[in-house]
Amino acid sequence: MTNTIADPVVNPGVRRPAYDRAGLKTRIVHIGFGAFHRAHQAVFTDEMLAKTGGDWGICEMSLFSGDAVISSLRRQDHLFTVTEKGADTTEVKMIGAVTEAMHPLLDGIDGLLEKMAEEQVEIFSLTVTEKGYCANPANGRLDKSHTLIQHDLLNPAQPKSAIGYIVEALRRRFERGLAPVTVLSCDNIQQNGHVARAVVLEYAGLLDERLAAWIEQNVTFPCTMVDRIVPAVTEETQNEITELVGVPDPCGVACEPFCQWIIEDNFANGRPEWDLAGAQFVANVVPYEEMKLRMLNGSHSFLAYLGYLGGYAHISDTMLSDDYRRAAFNLMMKEQAPTLDMPKGTDVEGYARQLIERFSNPSLQHRTWQIAMDGSQKLPQRMVDAIKHHIAQGTDYSHLALGVAGWMRYVSGQDESGREIDVRDPMVSAFKDIYERVGVLHPDVVRELLSLDAIFGTSLPANKEFENAVREAYLQLLECGARSAWHL
């Protein structure tokens, strides 16, 4: 039998859980056992347990792909490692906060739902990415035409979507007279708690108005802001983790040392003392999430599209270019920062300089292609909202226009050398249709893409100044290429 990280053969430099795992209970059910959750919420919970010795255990659930990872997690006693890679130092931590791991293919849909309906469970948390909420990104409402939602409305007791699972589990709790729970979104969506609340209530209302009323009155949906750079795990990452740990860890992830979590203090039942591990409980998350979404995520997307088109495989590669480095900083300070309303004393410029250093970390191989995924779901929060602010104020947004143009050039599916781009996006078929009709090299694609109201809404595309700004930036990309675009 192959050794696992649960065995004593693990390298002595790996930091092990500093608490008694036998005392943990499943009080949190988390949907989406992806790399980010493993390196973020699970780490905060692990570090909180080391300080409190409490019983806040996590049951991990993956609803779609991921049954192999869930099986691996079970085989290694629900332990996994997080490798924090700084520019000069590396630390490996073994995370012990997980008590159970489930998947519909392994445990059945009803098995997952019954776990969520257990009395001691107090929090449903989730990292399912923007598209997992089945919401229209233009208005945040439930997309009733979504394939998963249509299935779930016809088969509510056998759901497929995360929203369907949450509502069916809440129904069981409601009918059994159990305490309500907190639905804690940890995805990079502006006012993520409000989005989760809106889609859950609308979906529940389509099934049972009494249930929807109970959820509205009893279940809470705090907003959160999460921040940590966690690149997708590659074969190279896995090999490095194996060397550092001493045995393979198929659930292991690597990330940067920096970690931040801002949480609206609005819980229906109990809550962990995550603040002891460095999280911040606040009354209003919005200023912090807007700063992060626009300055970090917005500049990340900017660098992803223009970096990929410019031939850079990783974000840290773009930071070796003075032009890209300067453009990212100017985007943050000249166009994103002026749209923010931060608490007094916030060092916005210091935050921007810290981001540049984080992007420059050569130990993190964060692929531009990975960050470029699902742009249709990300642009509204990361760039479009800031552009609307500048149009209202009559101020400059040339870097943002270039970022939108870079996205448009990227989703054409063809790079500057004519090679195919593997575009991953829920709206990829709409992009292909536009480019097949209009052509990659024709600037009229700008008007066609701006007509996608799920991304740009209805008022912004009607603004000729905005259309012209993006069109001019798109022409510059066609004529000069990303590395020589006029704003860089």
> What does the pLDDT look like over 260-297, one tens digit per residue?
999 999 999 989 999 999 999 999 999 998 999 999 99
Percent of the chain exceeding pLDDT 90 equals 91
The per-residue pLDDT for 104 is 98
Q: Give the homologous superfamily in CATH for domain 21-282.
A: NAD(P)-binding Rossmann-like Domain (3.40.50.720)
Q: How far apart are CA 330 and CA 311, in angstroms?
A: 21
Weakest-pLDDT range from 135-144, 160-169, 357-366: 135-144
Please tell me the predicted confidence (pLDDT) of residue 42: 98
Supply the pLDDT for residue 136.
85
Condensed to tens digits (0 to 9), the pLDDT of residues 49-99 reads 999 999 999 999 999 988 999 999 999 999 999 999 998 899 999 999 999
Write down the domain spans for the chain: 21-282, 286-484
As beta bridge partners, residue 100 has 59
The pLDDT, as a whole number, for residue 138 is 67
Alpha helices, DSSP H, located in 344-463: 348-359, 368-371, 375-379, 385-393, 398-410, 428-438, 445-450, 453-456
d(CA 380, CA 457): 9
Please say if the pLDDT value at position 2 is more than 70.
Answer: no
Cα(259)–Cα(256) distance, integer angstroms: 8
State residue 263's pLDDT score.
Answer: 98
pTM attached to this predicted model: 0.84
**Which burial class, exposed, middle or buried, applies to 37 when counting CB atoms under 10 A from its CB (0-12, 13-18, 19+)?**
buried
Asked if residue 365 has pLDDT above 90, the reply is no
Q: In 3D, which of 224, 219, 345, 195 has the Cα closest to residue 284?
A: 224
CATH 1.10.1040.10 fits 286-484, yes or no: yes
* Tens-place pLDDT, residues 21-49: 999 999 999 999 999 999 999 999 999 99
Residue 336 has pLDDT above 60, yes or no: yes
**128-160 pLDDT, tens digit each:** 999 999 998 667 899 999 999 999 999 999 999
Question: How many CA atoms lie less than 13 Å away from 295 in the CB half-sphere?
Answer: 29
Residues in the chain: 488
Per-residue pLDDT for 487 more than 70? no
Q: Which residue has the higher pLDDT, 402 or 488?
A: 402
Mean pLDDT along residues 207-217: 98
Counts of helices then strands in the chain (DSSP H, E): 23, 11
For 430-450, what is the mean pLDDT? Answer: 94
Task: Tell which residue, 471, 450, 315, has the closest CA to residue 380.
Answer: 450
Q: What's residue 420's pLDDT?
A: 96
Do 21-282 and 286-484 agree at the fold level? no
* Residues 6+ away with beta carbon under 8 Å from 236: 365
Residue 486: pLDDT band by 50, 70, 90 thresholds?
low
The pLDDT mean for the chain works out to 95
* Residue 166 contacts residue 200 (beta carbons within 8 Å): yes
pLDDT band at 317 (very low <50, low <70, confident <90, very high): very high
Mean predicted confidence (pLDDT) in 401-412 = 97
pLDDT value for 8? 78
